[in-house]
Structure 1
């Protein structure tokens, strides 16, 4: 059925002619304390298969990665912002020193980077 968190009843197995009920998780996320085993019927009927999905990805892992990447993004953007402020200040200093307009200062500064 391709469903998550579905409790399997014996009537479902008969109605849908299930031959295998697979759980492809490396992490026992379906085993909640105090809750019935959602795979009990399949296990009792001998059609339950535990399949190693090859991935240990969890919601917590994804959240941690998002937070880490956001921190990297913020550091990178802070660095860019400091460079932009320095460039702006240099442009203003050049403009004030030369007494010229900003456009000619930009053109002159731009040619020094080539």
Structure 2
């Protein structure tokens, strides 16, 4: 409560993800809920950390494949120039 007063906090928000208890098992939002400043926010975004990781992996693979093709093309052109 001290921090809420010191920093003049008038809203504490959390998305629609599950609220995990603190290490001692208590609700981390207990005080904001008690004083009526806690709000759930629905961002309507279904993006998860797993989806982000999968996207990174997929893009890394595509990047590597694209660069292999570029490198092969450069080697081919270099060989053609040397033959001339």
TM-score, with structure 1 as normaliser: 0.54
1:20 aligns with 2:11: yes
CA contact (8 A) 2:22 2:28 kept: no
CA contact (8 A) 2:13 2:40 kept: yes
CA-based RMSD of the aligned residues comes to 2.7
Higher relative contact order (CA 8 A, sep 6+): 2
Q: Which runs of 5+ in 1 are unaligned?
A: 1-9, 96-114
Separation in 2, partners of 1:32, 1:79: 50
TM-score, with structure 2 as normaliser: 0.67
1:31 aligns with 2:20: yes
SS, match of residue 19 in structure 1: coil
Q: Which runs of 5+ in 2 are unaligned?
A: none
CA contact (8 A) 1:39 1:48 kept: yes
